[in-house]
Structure 1
Amino acid sequence: MSEREKLNDEASRAAARSLLAWQAEAGADEAIGNHPVNRMAAKEPGPGESAANPSGAGDPGPDAGARGQSAPAGATAARTEVAAPDPVMAARTKAREARTLVDLLHILEGFEGCPLRFTAKNLCFADGNPEARVMFIGEAPGADEDIQGKPFVGRAGKLLDKMLAAIGLDRSSAYITNVVYWRPPGNRTPTPQETQICRPFIERQIELADPDFVVFLGGAAAKEMLNRSEGILKLRGKWFDFDTGKRTIKAIATLHPAYLLRQPAQKRLAWRDFLAIKKALDT
């Protein structure tokens, strides 16, 4: 191989690495097909098709009358577009069908209204004891959770276990889940649409589990479920009334374990919140 060919080959490799890095940063960190597909390319006409009429169905077109052709019997003058079903409404309908947490799990396993399920490896429904008096709710699964199919099993989950142990709890005395049940690509923040699609399911999950207390881990979960706009540092440590659909219970927000891994000095605030949770459970 000549020196010029070597340089061209190295430049091609560098360009490919740069493109892969850009795709990873954009969230395309997993392949969902064996071969790349250029969906922007024009479709090649198949047998019996033409470039002007690739379906080959003999559609007379809008000026058929001018050419002396008549539309098929029963055809309407204008085509009616069928609107796609609203995924949020579909989620509300499906969530209300669940009579037990097992029902809800099976419904989510078959629900295709949230696009995240097509890029995630596993559904992360819940972990811990569904009969526990306290329920912890985060934002969305991460990479470790996506692999194992359980919420809070990575580094943040290990810290959460230590926080629970500090007030005498573990996964046999707490119920743990997320607002969003599938990992967003690249661990990006879920979009408002993705969160709204999942919200009827998490609301139904809280209703069916019927805990005495709910703890929202992080600002995203707290603001979404409490319908608040303040940041987590203003929301944390305060008790709120929360309507589960069955009754009104107490809810509190605290700092997400992932945030505490980045800001360990803030653990003192989370410790105060967990002491408040322990006091509520004891009384």
Structure 2
Amino acid sequence: MGRDLTQAEIRALLEWQAELGADEAIGETPLNRYELPEEAPRVLDKPVARGERPTDSLAPAPAQAEATDPVAVARAAAERAQSLEELRAAMEAFDLCELKRGARQLVFADGNPEARVMIVGEAPGRDEDRIGRPFVGRAGQLLDRMLAAIGLSRNAPDPAHAVYITNVLPWRPPQNRDPTPQEIAMMLPFLKRHIELVDPEVLVLMGNIATQALLGRRGITRLRGQWTEVMGRPALPMFHPAYLLRNPHAKREAWADLLELQAKLNGK
């Protein structure tokens, strides 16, 4: 059998507990805080009037809020759009992409929506964010010259010689960084609906971001110049004009791709 503690031992134990932070007695019997209760705590169903006996019941557990799926929200909003005007309004109302908070305005599209050719770029830059139209900076000016070389223009009223231009993302990423996979995924339903509403004969995918979004692949150096298919229509990956500004030696390949596009439009 154990012996009784001496006063000195009791005092030493109390001092030890006080050093650990247990400086207040809260009960006479030990409490195992790791033991699960036999049943959930009960709460009163309703306030009890004087003289009545309270009735209790298990309180329902609060429903846990489901996390919002931005892709599902974007898909539903895009599917409801029956025109380009409605699609633009749906994109402007979409608040689940953080890029919107840092951008000046939504950059929707430019050119003739009746055009045979639809060009998909990656995201607005500084000039596009300021003006509100895609491809208006140095890269856009180069794109206009490239298109003019094969008789196309964003300003042409004739659909046979016109182009329609949009981007994967409608808002400028900070510091012109590449869009993240999450940003691409949540805006992809809007892009696909955009393509459905315009219904072009041919798609041109400018750069890695556009090919990643619509083909699920990167590596524009390997993919460029090779006809593929996106949403049931011919698609041609090409170097982004911004890449050509940084790498002028690639303009020869870009010219070959333009001739491929021209031949496709001419039925060759």
TM-score using structure 1 length: 0.71
In the TM superposition, what whole-angstrom CA distance separates every residue of 1:101-126 from its partner, at most 9, and x where no partner exists?
A: 11101111111121111110010000
Larger radius of gyration: 2
Q: Secondary structure at the match of 2:178?
A: coil
Question: Amino acid of the residue matched to residue 76 of structure 1?
Answer: A
**Post-superposition offset of 1:77:** 5.1
Q: How much does 1:194 deviate?
A: 0.7
Aligned partner of 1:133 in structure 2 is 116
TM-fit CA distance, 1:228: 2.3
SS in 2 for 1:159: helix
> Counterpart of 2:59 in structure 1: which amino acid?
T
Q: Which residue of the partner structure matches residue 263 of structure 2?
A: 279
The alignment yields a C-alpha RMSD, in angstroms, of: 1.7
- Give me the whole-angstrom Cα distance separating, in 2, the residues matched to 1:123 and 1:238: 31
**Aligned mates of 2:59, 2:193 — CA distance in 1:** 43
Alignment partner of 2:61: what SS? coil
Q: Secondary structure at the match of 1:214?
A: strand
How many percent identity over aligned positions? 50
2:222 aligned counterpart, secondary structure? helix
Structure 2 residue aligned with 1:73? 45
Q: Does 2:177 correspond to 1:205?
A: no
- C-alpha distance in structure 2 between counterparts of 1:239 and 1:232, whole Å: 13
Aligned ranges for residues 47-66 of structure 1 at < 5 Å?
none
Find the residue that maps to 2:105 and give its secondary structure: coil
- The one-character-per-residue Cα deviations of 1:33-73 (angstroms, maximum 9, x if unpaired) are xxxxxxxxxxxxxxxxxxxxxxxxxxxxxxxx9xxx97463
1:235 is aligned to 223
Question: Secondary structure at the residue paired with 1:237?
Answer: coil
Pairwise CA distance, 1:242 = 1.8
CA drift of 1:167 comes to: 0.6
| Aligned counterparts of 2:62 and 2:123: Cα–Cα separation in 1 | 41
Instruction: Tell me which residue corresponds to 1:7.
Output: none
Give the aligned residue type for 2:215. Answer: L
Report the counterpart of residue 181 of structure 1 in structure 2.
170
Instruction: Give the Cα separation in 2 of the matches to 1:266 and 1:72.
Output: 76
Contact 2:105 2:132 in 1 (8 A): yes
Q: Specify the alignment match of 1:35 in structure 2.
A: none
Give the 3 Å change call, closer, same or farther, for CA 264–101 of structure 1 in structure 2. same
Secondary structure at the aligned position of 1:278 is classed as: helix
The 3-state SS of whatever aligns with 2:229 is strand
Are 1:107 and 2:90 counterparts? yes
The answer on 1:192 being equivalent to 2:181 is yes
Question: 2:123 touches 2:167 (CA, 8 Å); kept in 1?
Answer: yes
Q: TM-score w.r.t. structure 2 length?
A: 0.75
Q: Given the alignment, which residue of 265, 277, 280 partners 2:249?
A: 265
**Alpha carbons 2:42, 2:59 under 8 Å: kept:** no
Name the aligned partner's letter for residue 185 of structure 1.
P
Deviation of 1:80 after TM superposition, in Å, equals: 2.8
> Contact 2:99/2:172 (CA < 8 Å) preserved in 1?
yes
Task: Say which SS state the counterpart of residue 168 (structure 1) adopts.
Answer: coil
For 2:95, what is the secondary structure of its paired residue?
coil
Unpaired runs of 5+ in structure 1? 1-64
Q: Which amino acid aligns with 2:206?
A: L
Q: Does 1:161 find its partner at 2:149?
A: no
| Count of residues in Structure 1 that have an aligned counterpart in Structure 2 | 211
* Match for residue 83 of structure 1 among 58, 66, 74: 66
Counterpart code for 1:257: P
Aligned equivalents of 2:45 and 2:64: distance in 1? 20
